[in-house]
Chains A and B, each alone.
Chain A
């Protein structure tokens, strides 16, 4: 039978009872702490996801009607390096093969690239890790110009960007020929700095940024698709940020 409270006050619990109460309290504390710890760990990234940003460009749309900031992205003010095994940054040593299924394959050097028609534009870039930078100023040569020079044959459907240490990234030809896709050699009004793949990288702003290969060494036109470095390691073959095509 349950002992009334006033009786308990008059007769304090014995040593055995006290030990039992302490054990129960310790168990409660442990369970509370463990459950709280689990929740914090499981939902740990939520704070970043809900962090608000007051940049006025965030609520705007692109000319194609899609939101300026793709879903699942957060806005940063500058490009992040994102690593990668560095290639040779030397402009003197740089050579780029334009080859594959084309009539006039060629190899160009850096000075030749600078003598081609230059395009400067501001482009948003979207990294698959979740950051976006608006209006990054790039300068380079449009891929469509190089495709025309090389004489891409009918039936070609894809472009494979080749880079240092065997890195590759595949892009559908119709997207690679858009006017904002280029071989870029300047960023923010200066030659590409070392973390961003100098002397030349590809720029494909409308796909996740891993498609924009750093330390570019070649552009290959192919009929059949060839998934590249990350595409064969679990990332999406296409990589559209607005469809959140992050993983395959």
Chain B
């Protein structure tokens, strides 16, 4: 049998999986034209659905993971892991740069600070790229606080929220259109009772009911 280009033959046969009629007096008399025949367009639809699905895997993971992460933003920080440690070092003296060096050495902070700033007679702010040392020079209390980026999620969130703008808007639009096509092609992939005249219709309606019921129940916007 010659299949449509690019179509998996084994999947093609699903069109032919129409339940065989029970042998009966009526079916024996049924004209051949009334029997279900495999559609010509369905294999193409399935091929489109399959290939769009493959293409969408990467972006779906980006949007889904980031969606989960950002959806629960009131429970955690999806972009950074924050920390804060307090050290009691006793009275600190000397010029600001010397105090900053001494504190960094004592608590084991590496790297060069971006700036050392005397905010008030008792407050010295030492800023690094990802951490800040808040030094009370009178009491010697040092608060070492900063953030470590969650690299993968931060990148996914950056893309999801389209912080980069520019070309990503087109990518995101294309992906959204792709999802619409995936949904539509998915609905018509299967014929018969597992398709839109049976189980498929029920599932489509139930899926559509979720937002409708939610909006109704919650009072909506």
- A joins B in a complex: yes
What is A's interface to B at a CB cutoff of 8 Å? 16, 30-31, 34-35, 37-39, 41-43, 76, 80-83, 85, 89-93, 110-111, 114-115, 127, 129-131, 190-191, 193-195, 198-199, 247
Contacting pair B120 A111 (CB below 8 A): yes
Contacting pair B206 A91 (CB below 8 A): no
A38 to B217, CA, bound (A): 13
A81 to B80, CA, bound (A): 10
Q: How many residue pairs bridge A and B at CB < 8 Å?
A: 99
- Name 19 extra pairs, CB < 8 A, besides A38-B213, A80-B73, A130-B74: A30-B199, A34-B202, A37-B206, A38-B207, A38-B209, A42-B214, A43-B213, A81-B77, A81-B82, A85-B163, A90-B115, A91-B117, A129-B74, A190-B143, A191-B143, A193-B145, A194-B145, A194-B146, A198-B132
Q: Count contacts on B: residues with CB < 8 A to the other chain.
A: 40
Contacting pair B132 A194 (CB below 8 A): yes
A114 to B125, CA, bound (A): 13
What is B's interface to A at a CB cutoff of 8 Å? 22, 70, 73-75, 77-80, 82, 84, 114-120, 123, 125, 127, 132, 134, 143, 145-147, 157, 163, 199, 202-203, 206-207, 209-210, 213-214, 217, 221
A80 to B75, CA, bound (A): 7
7 residue pairs, one from A and one from B, having the closest CB atoms: A92-B117, A92-B115, A42-B213, A91-B125, A81-B77, A90-B127, A38-B206
27 pairs, A vs B, C-beta closer than 8 Å: A31-B202, A34-B202, A34-B203, A35-B206, A38-B209, A38-B210, A42-B213, A43-B213, A80-B77, A83-B70, A83-B79, A83-B157, A90-B125, A91-B127, A92-B115, A92-B116, A92-B125, A92-B127, A93-B115, A110-B125, A115-B120, A129-B74, A130-B74, A190-B84, A193-B84, A195-B80, A195-B147
